[in-house]
Amino acid sequence: MLSQDLWDHEKRLRVEGRVRVHISKPTREMALQRADGETALRSAHARETVELELLLERLTDPALGPVWWVRRYADLQFAAGDPKEKVESVLSAFKQLQETLHAAKIDQTADEKLLVRRKIDEVFSVVEDEESLSLALQVMNRTLDLMWVNGSGQVAQDEPPSA
């Protein structure tokens, strides 16, 4: 709470203060090294996340996905044996991978919807009076208006929000 103003209950008194912290040079250097390490780790994590998201996009692309997959395993296709069988095997493995990714995406969407339902239930479980209930309903209605939800529950792409 160092960066926030402190007031008494009646807002008549405001508390202000200043603090100066002194630390040793080795402690400061250690803290800076730790911060640099955390920044590098976050950066590496963010980079990996972007790479994985791009890979997921590629794998779930109906046109480019199979082409990328076959190219990735091209060395197997031209090894000893029938190339046709190898291509069929590679494409079969890709189809299985796509089905798994699609199922995972459906599960993630279902989990997100469940989370929204739980949050809505949580809001209504703490509402104790009519005024709070009215406010909660207004916020939900406004949220739905902002999302431009039409009667079927799908987000409308080109319809303006209802007034």
The string of pLDDT tens digits covering residues 10-56 is 888 888 878 888 899 999 999 999 999 999 999 999 999 899 888 88
> What is the predicted pLDDT for the residue at 131?
84
123-154 pLDDT, tens digit each: 777 777 788 888 888 888 888 888 776 454 55
Q: Between 117 and 41, where is the model more confident? A: 41
Sign of the dihedral through C-alpha 4, 9, 10, 12: negative
Name, of 18-32, 72-86, 110-124, the range with top average pLDDT: 18-32
Return the pLDDT at 152.
46
Gap between the Cα atoms of 119 and 141, Å rounded = 15
Say how far apart CA 36 and CA 105 lie, in whole Å: 35
CA–CA separation, 148 and 142 (whole Å): 10
pTM of the model: 0.43
Predicted confidence (pLDDT) at residue 158 exceeds the cutoff of 80: no
71 pLDDT above the threshold of 90: no
Least confident of 4-13, 73-82, 151-160: 151-160
Answer whether residue 163 shows pLDDT above 60.
Answer: no
Predicted pLDDT of residue 1:
47
Half-sphere exposure of residue 108: CA atoms within 13 angstroms, side-chain side: 6
**Average pLDDT of the chain to the nearest whole number:** 78
pLDDT at 92 (0 to 100): 85
Most confident of the following: 42-51, 67-76, 82-91, 141-150: 42-51
DSSP 8-class letter at 154: S
pLDDT at 29: 95
Q: Helix 83-126 crosses helix 130-147 at what angle (to 10 degrees)?
A: 150
Cα distances (angstroms) measured from residue 119 to each of 2, 91, 110, 113, 148: 31, 42, 14, 10, 20
